[in-house]
Structure 1
Amino acid sequence: MDELLWAALWIYKATENVEYLKYVVEKGTSFGGTTWAMTEFSWDVKYVGVQIIASMLLLEEKHKEHKQVLEQYRSKAEHYICACLNKNNSTNLRRTPGGLLYTRQWNNMQYVSASTFLLTVYSDHLKTSNQTLECHGGTLGPDDILSFAKSQVDYILGSNPMATSYLVGYGPTYPKRVHHRGASMESYRESKGFIGCTQGYDNWYGKRDPNPHTLVGALVGGPDSEDGFEDDRGNYVQTEACTYNSAPLIGVFARLHELEGGEKSSTISLLSSS
């Protein structure tokens, strides 16, 4: 159901065909968009993304006729933002002792990067609309939200109890044994012999040596709930690299680059023009 709402909302943004917006409005309750208060955003659970984009539509006069339903979407979006910053009465996202958002053991960084992107987008949304967010635990301004998003990026890049970057190729210390077949086997330039699945597993998977290739820009699964991390190729729960881990960080990096005096590239404008 979340995929249908997600698809309809993006098609509406691309085409401005109001039939797709009506679909999101009319199906909000039956499909869970206005009723599910979530604490996860991922490739498999997209409700929060729908809720945040729907809430941003409230800024435009042409959407006033759907204000009541869009406000319901916004309520659920704000529940998620408050949960990330530990400002709900009960339902909040877990954190490791070192401060990293923690959803589950296997490849937790996918949830961290996705959350960080949404926090960055919503921070810009609040700043653009000159609003604050009222949570049960207090008021959050756009700078509060962006500051927390930055803390997650800092953790990813090395400000953590393990003093390691989880973005491969960044910093003096980062995972050297990424669970990635292409990176963990020697180049064709070095060995032109055929390597089948069995040979790859027998000859390379179990090696303790660092990968012969650095998978620059890959974001691995990351630490456990106590900030522990083992750089082992067989430890796929922590060392597997996925495109949906690193993809959400691009917009976050662009926003933080702007804050450091780089070329203006607001994430909310990127999202609005997508």
Structure 2
Amino acid sequence: MVLISKASWSPDYGDALSKTILFFEGQRSGKLPPTQRMTWRKDSALRDGFQMNVDLVGGYYDAGDNVKFNFPMAFTTTMLAWSVVDFGPFLGSELQHTHEAIQWATDYFLKCTNIPGLVFVQVGDGSKDHNCWERPEDMDTPRTSFAVNTTNPGSEVSAEIAAALAASSIVFRSFNTIYAAHLLSRARAVFDFANTYQGSYNHAFGHSICYFYCDYNGYQDELLWAAAWIYRASRQSYYSDYVLKNLHKLDPPYSKGSMLEFGWDSKHAGINILVSKARIADHLKPNPFMVNADKFICSVLPDSPTKSVSYSPGGLLFKPGGSNLQHSIGFSFLLLVYARYTTIINKTIHCGDIVIKPSRLAQLAKHQVDYILGDNPLNMSYIVGYSNKYPQKIHHRGSSLPSIDAYPSKLQCHEGSFYFFSSKPNPNILEGAVVGGPDMNDKYKDSRADFPHSEPATYINAPLVGLVAFFNYTR
């Protein structure tokens, strides 16, 4: 692996932090507040849920489309909350904006879980939405509301919502105790629903959901992930006991996942890092969570004999599949969290004959962040609006189409195709959006059609918030 080093290159982590958080304002659905800073965006989807006589207005569009997919949205919220829980003191003046980004999601999730025995998991028809290229302010595709219930359960999405609510309750309890208590109470109720009525939402809705955000590795990881977060928020032994009693369910046949995975679908590595720090299993010898956390670390480090990831010539971590920066950033977040924890307990990690100090983990995480900010062979940032060279033609409807201010008339479903195929840069800068990133050879084709590399997503941005906050404070 070659790490690019330029004496003249100096990252502005503070600017990256501000923009990374600002991005979430560009993804807002619903009635925008007077404090909205990304002013080319306007109100949208103001009647979500009306067909079922419920209010489902709010939340976030997940990526470059106009659908509210609650599974990745909940993971995004959990990771934003984790960024505050572990790195809040480093957020500085951006802490308030991060609180607002989290509450935009939690207010929506409270609506989605307001009816006992029912959890709304998606708003919008993904297939029909993806057949159109139109602004969220104009969209006229069906806003179908999908909900799981006791007979058609969705444990993965319900449990992830519970995790998001619990993690967010920790964020708010120091200054809004009533709201925090409400979030934690709802988290418990939603977790009970997810655990009592177990099943995957893949089976409940099939193509309507699974084509876009299928649960590929089972829902047991989400149940343990939620229980671990509720324990961290409440310190109630029921939830720590649940994690210990059900740890075996992270293995086949219950789960198809790997202890070495982490993202919106698989929480395995995150569970082990989180629980290692929560010290649920301190009395166990050996501690299986820390053992597995060490295995994850050894699977990521470039010089480890058990490495299971790849690195580009420029030093970017790679996993198979699209939107690779979600892996580079998510893994880096776990590396930094574990580095700080193992520093406190004065622990080293052994990868075969190699002894790894915590500082090595933080160093690798920093290399990944610096690559994304511009320390790479193309000398470009993969954060829109950051530095003087960044992606100009991202796969994003609102960014690529003229704003309501510039073009007040409605743009119909296929009228946006002209702008999609245009060779011109997007007219609206979606500041802070992190795209899928370059290919394995450090090349990047700036093309809207190349969505695996050019599409931003909320779950790519969320863990980057904590990373850039820490490196901004400690540089």
Return the TM-score normalized by structure 2: 0.51
Q: Which amino acid aligns with 2:238?
A: E
Whole-angstrom distance in 1 between the partners of 2:414 and 2:263: 33
3-state DSSP of counterpart to 1:119: helix
Q: Which residue of 265, 271, 283 corresponds with 1:50?
A: 271
Q: Which residue of 182, 185, 189 corresponds with 2:398?
A: 182
Partner of 1:40: 261
Name the CA shift for 1:137/1:168 in 2 (closer, same or farther; >3 Å): farther
Query: Which moved further from structure 2: 192-201 or 147-156?
Result: 192-201
Name the CA shift for 1:169/1:73 in 2 (closer, same or farther; >3 Å): same
Whole-angstrom distance in 2 between the partners of 1:231 and 1:108: 15
Q: Which residue of 155, 173, 179 corresponds with 2:371?
A: 155
- Note if contact 1:109-1:221 (Cα within 8 Å) is conserved in structure 2: yes
Partner of 1:165: 381
Q: Which amino acid aligns with 2:473?
A: E
Kindly, what percent of the aligned residue pairs are identical?
Answer: 36
- Note if contact 1:87-1:136 (Cα within 8 Å) is conserved in structure 2: no
Partner of 2:414: 198
Q: Which residue of 65, 68, 75 corresponds with 2:285?
A: 68
Query: Which moved further from structure 2: 48-57 or 173-182?
Result: 48-57
3-state DSSP of counterpart to 1:134: strand
- Note if contact 1:177-1:233 (Cα within 8 Å) is conserved in structure 2: yes
Whole-angstrom distance in 2 between the partners of 1:222 and 1:228: 9
Name the CA shift for 1:209/1:45 in 2 (closer, same or farther; >3 Å): same
Partner of 1:29: 248
Whole-angstrom distance in 2 between the partners of 1:227 and 1:105: 15
1:109 aligns with 2:325: yes
Structure 1 residue 54: Cα displacement: 1.4
Structure 1 residue 30: Cα displacement: 2.8
3-state DSSP of counterpart to 1:197: coil
Query: Which moved further from structure 2: 204-213 or 22-31?
Result: 22-31
1:3 aligns with 2:222: yes
Task: Provide the alpha-carbon RMSD of the alignment.
Answer: 1.8
Name the structure, 1 or 2, with higher relative contact order (CA <8 Å, separation 6+). Answer: 2
Q: Which sections of structure 2, spanning at least 5 residues, go unmatched?
A: 1-219
Structure 1 residue 206: Cα displacement: 0.4
Partner of 1:221: 436
Structure 1 residue 37: Cα displacement: 5.3
Q: Which amino acid aligns with 1:194?
A: K
- Note if contact 1:84-1:92 (Cα within 8 Å) is conserved in structure 2: yes
Whole-angstrom distance in 2 between the partners of 1:64 and 1:73: 10
Name the CA shift for 1:64/1:232 in 2 (closer, same or farther; >3 Å): closer
- Deviation string 1:145-195 (CA, Å, 9 cap, x unpaired) is 111110001100111112111011111100000100000011111111111
Structure 1 residue 14: Cα displacement: 1.0
Q: Which amino acid aligns with 1:157?
A: L
- Note if contact 1:96-1:226 (Cα within 8 Å) is conserved in structure 2: yes
Partner of 2:338: 122
Partner of 1:241: 456
3-state DSSP of counterpart to 2:355: strand
Whole-angstrom distance in 1 between the partners of 2:290 and 2:233: 21
3-state DSSP of counterpart to 2:285: helix
1:89-108 correspondence to structure 2 within 5 Å:
89-108=305-324
Name the CA shift for 1:13/1:80 in 2 (closer, same or farther; >3 Å): same
Whole-angstrom distance in 2 between the partners of 1:172 and 1:38: 39
Partner of 1:264: none
3-state DSSP of counterpart to 1:139: strand
Name the CA shift for 1:19/1:120 in 2 (closer, same or farther; >3 Å): same
Whole-angstrom distance in 2 between the partners of 1:112 and 1:122: 16
Q: Which sections of structure 1, spanning at least 5 residues, go unmatched?
A: 261-274
Structure 1 residue 64: Cα displacement: 3.7
Name the CA shift for 1:64/1:245 in 2 (closer, same or farther; >3 Å): closer
- Alignment length, in residue pairs? 253
- Note if contact 1:105-1:224 (Cα within 8 Å) is conserved in structure 2: no
Structure 1 residue 131: Cα displacement: 1.6
Q: Which amino acid aligns with 1:213?
A: N
- Note if contact 1:39-1:93 (Cα within 8 Å) is conserved in structure 2: no
Structure 1 residue 105: Cα displacement: 3.8
Name the CA shift for 1:158/1:194 in 2 (closer, same or farther; >3 Å): same
3-state DSSP of counterpart to 1:113: helix
Whole-angstrom distance in 2 between the partners of 1:189 and 1:254: 33
Q: Which residue of 232, 247, 252 corresponds with 1:13?
A: 232
Whole-angstrom distance in 2 between the partners of 1:137 and 1:222: 34
- Note if contact 2:260-2:268 (Cα within 8 Å) is conserved in structure 1: no
Structure 1 residue 127: Cα displacement: 1.1
